[in-house]
Chain A
Amino acid sequence: MSKIKELFESGKFKSAFIPYFTLGDPNYNDSIEFGKTILDGGADILELGIPFSDPVADGPVIQRAVARSLKNKFSFDEIFRVTKQIHLHKQETPLVYLTYFNPIYHCGITKFLDNAKDSGVVGLVIPDLPFDTIESETLFQELRLRDMDLIHLVTPASTKKRIEALRKTSTGFIYYVTSFGVTGERREFSVDLKERIRFLKDTIQLPICAGFGISTPEQASQIAGYADGIIIGSAIQRVIEENGQDASKAKNVLADYITKIRASIS
């Protein structure tokens, strides 16, 4: 059984809290500290962003984070080193990578997955790799061999036909994109969010976690009322952006924010 499946079946929480941040922003060693802080604050699953130069599914906050990260020399060795350090801090919390497909392709799928698994990663989210591509099918098979998960995105524009089709090659949880557009904080969500999530739950036998735009404890609490998990990226990245020059201050602000969100969805 995959680590993520085990976690959702454990009944430890009503709704999972899945924070995201980009590795290497503002530097790799601070990333280790931020990761530990977020884990201590109550993350149920931690999503780590591997920076890619052209993040087309991301809004301005994460774009800037990626740009800051890439000012450091990017290498997979460094990514895996940092990931492992975060993993060793709290080994029971599953780590997931979010990245675009080109870096994985270049690293080589099997080499990437072996190293990712060795560093404590149990699943992947790849926004620019649709499930109905040869590469996604290959990746899915390779992940299964390692008991790792391929987490697909479903959006308000995804048709019923596509949602049914992706069931075969989807594990872990579904990353439900709450609204049209790219990542970034929003004030309002689409009116039919609750119904869409309910429809997904009925159609796919996987936990449905909602992301894109969630930032406040109120929003988190509201969506956690009907989603199996909530994913927060840009709001966390903004804390790092605003305080990252002073790592200890950033850790304090992060800890405070994470604790508040965790409390709001318990």
Chain B
Amino acid sequence: MGKNQPGYFGEFGGRYAPEILTEALEELESTYQKLKKSKKFKKELEFYLQNYVGRPSPLTYAERLTKQWGGARIWLKREDLNHTGAHKINNAIGQALIAKFMGKKRIIAETGAGQHGLATATVGAMFGMETVVYMGAVDVERQNLNAKKIEMLGAKILPVTAGEATLKEATSEAMRDWALNVSTTHYIVGSAIGPHPFPTIVRDLQSIIGKEARSQFKKRNHNLPHAIVACVGGGSNAIGMFHAFLKDKHVAIYGAEAGGLGPKPGEHSATLTYGKTGFLHGTKTLIIQDEAGQIVPAHSVSAGLDYPGVGPEHAYLSQTKRVDYRMVTDEQALDCFLEVTRVEGIIPALETAHAFYVARDVAKDLGKKKDLIICLSGRGDKDVTEVLRILGERSK
């Protein structure tokens, strides 16, 4: 496999997984190539997206936020209104269908904030598949509502206590499970990361976000927006939103990544700002690491962004400068979380609050009579307890 072959985005991507997984990855790739062209598969996916997920998700004009920020008109692509409350279900449904076509009866997943675990547990229940979700023990605590929901749906949660006990460790553990059970199990990777073909499959399944947003906006305004913004951890909602607009050169694209507490190693998850090229969890991408190539623990107030790597396509889009990736600190994200909640009556996920902060700056820079779409990747119910805890500490 070479960098001009499928699975690479410029120099990034590829398949750097243990040999035991190669056969399964090749099977997944060939199955997906067939299913992509299959009318039956497309029809079935569309059926579930419409009748179970609730697509298309609306494109909402945020009148109050537009007034409040005093710049460009703000539009929200409402992935928070999907079943299970986030974009993650688009991918989980699609991959569960692929698993079904491959005859796999067991699905596993890793999860940080719990939204991907919840989406996987949901499709596991719906399709009657045995489901196991790996979640860092720290995340089981700070995202307890989602952890409880996952169990209620009949999936097994396996808390991971190694290392920082967050998403990175949960991902490693899910890969180990897959290596052991590869003939019976499909690993539903939750973001546009991992060994080829995962970044492409997840991107394709999430690209419905951008396709819908583009056509909904065009239908209402007879043109395209001036800018779009999404938050980036692994980057699945962002790549899903961006993909339909990449060729529209006059549409500015912004990604918001977690600046955490500050610029020191271990304080942030700002992979695209501070990351260096490396190899992690099966892919070549930008990674937060020390000078000896050891991965540095990531931090973010948002469990969903707390990952030291990023999808390889984002690394490529950052290198080519097609997307302007900006950092947002924990404080800035929290302030925006509260502002959007009070002004617009929508409680966004903490992940999405990062995107709102970047959007606020971009909206001001663009000025009036311009249009900006934010991918509202998920709702913030899961974050309420954590936000209240932080606010309580702040007021002490």
Main secondary structure of the interface of B (DSSP, over half): mixed
Whether A54 touches B172, Cβ cut-off 8 Å, given contacts A157-B182, A180-B181, is: yes
Whether A181 touches B176, Cβ cut-off 8 Å, given contacts A130-B15, A130-B16, is: yes
Q: A159: which B residues are within 8 A, CB to CB?
A: 23
Distance in angstroms between the alpha carbons of A53 and B162 in the assembled complex: 11
Whether A134 touches B3, Cβ cut-off 8 Å, given contacts A106-B289, A157-B22, A180-B182, is: yes
Q: CB distance B20 to A155 under 8 Å?
A: yes
Whether A133 touches B176, Cβ cut-off 8 Å, given contacts A67-B163, A102-B278, A155-B20, is: no
Whether A106 touches B176, Cβ cut-off 8 Å, given contacts A153-B19, A157-B24, A158-B22, is: no
Number of chain A interface residues as a range: 35 or more
CB distance from A250 to the nearest CB of B (A): 23
**Is B382 at the interface (CB under 8 A from chain A)?**
no
Distance in angstroms between the alpha carbons of A157 and B278 in the assembled complex: 27
**Is B96 at the interface (CB under 8 A from chain A)?**
no
Distance in angstroms between the alpha carbons of A129 and B17 in the assembled complex: 7
Q: CB distance B20 to A106 under 8 Å?
A: no
Q: CB distance B18 to A56 under 8 Å?
A: yes
**Is B345 at the interface (CB under 8 A from chain A)?**
no
Q: CB distance B293 to A155 under 8 Å?
A: no
Q: CB distance A182 to B176 under 8 Å?
A: yes
**Is A263 at the interface (CB under 8 A from chain B)?**
no
Interface-located stretch among A25-33, A69-77, A221-229: A69-77
**Is B395 at the interface (CB under 8 A from chain A)?**
no
Q: B280: which A residues are within 8 A, CB to CB?
A: 54, 102
**Is A52 at the interface (CB under 8 A from chain B)?**
yes
Whether A129 touches B16, Cβ cut-off 8 Å, given contacts A106-B278, A157-B23, A182-B180, is: yes
Main secondary structure of the interface of A (DSSP, over half): loop
The residue of chain A having its C-beta at the shortest distance from the C-beta of B22 within the complex is: A130
Q: B278: which A residues are within 8 A, CB to CB?
A: 102, 105-106
Q: Indicate the member of A75, A101, A102, A127 with the most B CB atoms within 10 Å.
A: A102
**Is A88 at the interface (CB under 8 A from chain B)?**
no
CB distance from A183 to the nearest CB of B (A): 10
Q: CB distance A63 to B162 under 8 Å?
A: yes
Q: CB distance A67 to B162 under 8 Å?
A: yes
Distance in angstroms between the alpha carbons of A106 and B288 in the assembled complex: 12
Q: A156: which B residues are within 8 A, CB to CB?
A: 20
CB distance from B179 to the nearest CB of A (A): 5
CB distance from B304 to the nearest CB of A (A): 19
CB distance from B337 to the nearest CB of A (A): 31
Given A105-B278, A130-B22, 19 extra CB contacts under 8 A: A52-B293, A56-B17, A57-B18, A57-B179, A67-B163, A75-B292, A100-B279, A101-B16, A104-B293, A106-B278, A128-B16, A128-B18, A133-B16, A154-B19, A155-B19, A157-B21, A157-B182, A159-B23, A181-B20
